[in-house]
């Protein structure tokens, strides 16, 4: 009798164990099938983390952070012995280290918020999705940098596996976060104020909270004679809720390569106007820089604002990639500024950005990157490229379907630069397209824009064969002018003519949550379509 009882008990135990293992396996399959890398997910996720979705997401975030630190350590070891490495490869390693350090900060921030908040507001959810999207962007930028320089097998082979694992871990973390938090977020029903007629900032800061104001003037009459000196002296880690440190840059041409690091938050730089205050440089990929490092002006510090300044890269069309501004600063704003270059003029690298009443000049992919960015009331000026080149206004770099990134162009003007000619001269025979897919999930939207005849009737151009044509998202809504006729547009699966409801998703309010942070800048903006 006791033997029979024991057998029944063991049978029950085995049944429960089988059901647990089966349900765990099913849970693992269900979780991982919802990610871009299901096989890697299944082999990485241990059974003890299968109890809840929250635990699964935390586990992959922790693994992401661990791998990021490994990447940083490995790159640092190579940079300590950089005299044995080609100069261009050193540039790529410097980019990767910089970006890995940012990723470690982003992942730590996400983990901290998730562990301390049982419930999150919709704005907190958007914040974390933005940071997780940026980790993938940073990783891809590192990889792209190695593709631009002369291969150095010792370095590239050693970094190949951790970089690949990092990309997969970041992607899975983003997918699980999107499934668990973003898909369940409930937007506030509070009506968003549309701000249309706020006083122009000019060089006054009456509309914003200012903690300190300094002056840059090359004639020696100000606090500093260079922009870099003023930036270096600005306070560190002030946060973004304590007012702006304002740097007024007097009229003049500044031959400087300016970098606003992560530690310089809520920095505002005011110039004397377009073509009066000019920051200029001429770095390019042809001259040995990575695209990332070719920027004349680069910013990472959160809450950055620039007003009334021209940014130039004068390398010229023949030097290929040559960036005027690279922006990787969250909640950053450029107002009444000009960006001048040829290929890759404005690098909207990552995080959330807003451009208002700006002029952008360029040829190939001259607005590119993987930020969540809205350009509003701006002018895009396609100019004369090299022989056998065509113009592409955007080259958006979204690599993952869960990234909340894209280029939204709202109420802007697309007009041929004077050097390109006009319709009567057939624009020198140069084709100009609204965009082309730099990466697999490229996303660009034009809404309520004027397009002159410089825009090719086809509208959009391929990158290479049929790459990304079914996975990209390109859309147009209520545009006007001779180049806006959509009757001969591309017929790709990823191209759309959208209605007002869909277009509203790409407004300042919904796409970059601008109604939450733009009022602090003093810059006017339109929160929705109307």
Q: Are 436 and 469 in contact (CB under 8 A)?
A: no
**H/E segment holding residue 334:** strand 332-335
Residue 372's region, left for phi above 0, alpha for psi from -120 to 50, else beta, is: beta
Selected catalytic residue, list 95, 344, 359, 365: 365
**H/E segment holding residue 431:** none
| Distance from C-alpha of 347 to C-alpha of 395, rounded to nearest angstrom | 10
- Please report the sign of the dihedral spanned by the C-alpha atoms of residue 126, residue 131, residue 133, residue 134: positive
Q: Are 285 and 296 in contact (CB under 8 A)?
A: no
Beta bridge partners, 409, equal: 375, 446
The answer to whether residue 365 is catalytic is yes
| Distance from C-alpha of 405 to C-alpha of 129, rounded to nearest angstrom | 10
What's the residue count for the chain?
Answer: 530
Distances (CA, A) of 26 to 19, 47, 83, 316, 499: 10, 11, 52, 57, 40
The long-range contacts involving 39-42, CB below 8 angstroms and separated by at least 24 positions, are 40/165, 40/168, 40/172, 41/168, 41/172
Distances (CA, A) of 457 to 292, 495, 504: 32, 14, 25
Q: Are 94 and 484 in contact (CB under 8 A)?
A: no
- 3-state per-residue secondary structure call for 63-124: HHHHHHHHHHHHHHHHHCCHHHCCHHHHHHHHHHHHHHHHHHHHHHHHHHHHHHCCCCCHHH
- Give the residue numbers marked as catalytic: 365
């Amino acid at each position: 009798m006791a033997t029979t009882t024991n057998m029944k008990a063991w049978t029950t135990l085995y049944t429960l164990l089988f059901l647990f293992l089966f349900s765990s396996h099913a849970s693992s399959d269900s979780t991982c099938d919802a990610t871009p890398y299901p096989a890697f997910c299944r082999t990485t996720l241990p059974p003890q983390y299968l109890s809840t979705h929250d635990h699964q997401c935390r586990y992959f975030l922790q693994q992401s952070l661990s791998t990021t630190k490994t990447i940083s350590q490995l790159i640092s070891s190579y940079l300590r012995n950089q005299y044995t490495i080609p100069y261009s490869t050193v540039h790529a390693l410097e980019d990767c280290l910089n970006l890995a350090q940012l990723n470690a900060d982003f992942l730590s921030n996400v983990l901290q918020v998730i562990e301390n908040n049982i419930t999150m507001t919709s704005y907190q959810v958007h914040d974390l999705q933005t940071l997780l999207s940026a980790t993938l962007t940073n990783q891809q930028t590192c990889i792209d940098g190695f593709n631009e320089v002369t291969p150095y097998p010792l370095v590239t082979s050693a970094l190949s596996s951790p970089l690949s694992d990092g990309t997969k871990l970041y992607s899975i973390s983003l997918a699980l976060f999107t499934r668990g938090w973003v898909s369940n977020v409930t937007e506030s029903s509070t009506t968003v104020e549309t701000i249309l007629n706020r006083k122009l900032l000019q060089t006054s800061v009456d509309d914003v909270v200012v903690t300190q104001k300094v002056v840059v003037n090359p004639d020696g009459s100000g606090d500093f004679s260079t922009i870099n000196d003023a930036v270096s002296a600005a306070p560190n880690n002030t946060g973004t809720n304590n007012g702006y440190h304002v740097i007024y840059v007097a009229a003049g041409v500044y031959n400087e390569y300016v970098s606003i690091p992560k530690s310089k938050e809520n920095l505002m730089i005011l110039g004397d106007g377009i073509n009066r205050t000019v920051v200029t440089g001429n770095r390019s990929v042809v001259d040995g820089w990575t695209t990332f490092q070719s920027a004349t002006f680069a910013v990472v510090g959160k809450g950055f604002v620039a007003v009334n300044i021209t940014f130039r890269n004068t390398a010229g069309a023949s030097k290929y990639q040559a960036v005027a501004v690279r922006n990787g600063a969250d909640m950053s704003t450029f107002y009444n500024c000009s960006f001048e270059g040829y290929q890759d003029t404005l690098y909207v690298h990552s995080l959330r950005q807003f451009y208002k009443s700006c002029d952008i000049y360029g040829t190939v992919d001259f607005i590119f990157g993987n930020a969540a960015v809205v350009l509003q009331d701006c002018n895009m000026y396609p100019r004369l490229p090299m022989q056998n080149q065509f113009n592409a206004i955007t080259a958006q770099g979204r690599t993952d379907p869960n990234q909340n990134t894209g280029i939204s162009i709202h109420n802007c003007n697309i007009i041929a630069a004077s050097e390109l000619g006009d319709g009567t001269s057939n624009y020198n025979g140069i084709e100009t397209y609204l965009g082309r897919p730099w990466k697999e999930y490229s996303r660009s939207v034009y809404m309520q824009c004027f397009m002159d005849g410089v825009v090719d009737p086809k509208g959009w151009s391929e990158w290479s064969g049929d790459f990304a044509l079914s996975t990209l998202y390109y859309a147009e809504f209520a545009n006007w002018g001779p180049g806006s006729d959509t009757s001969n547009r591309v017929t790709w699966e990823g191209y759309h003519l959208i209605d007002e409801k869909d277009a509203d998703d790409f407004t300042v309010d919904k796409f970059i949550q601008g109604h939450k942070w733009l009022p602090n800048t003093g810059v006017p903006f339109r929160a929705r379509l109307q």
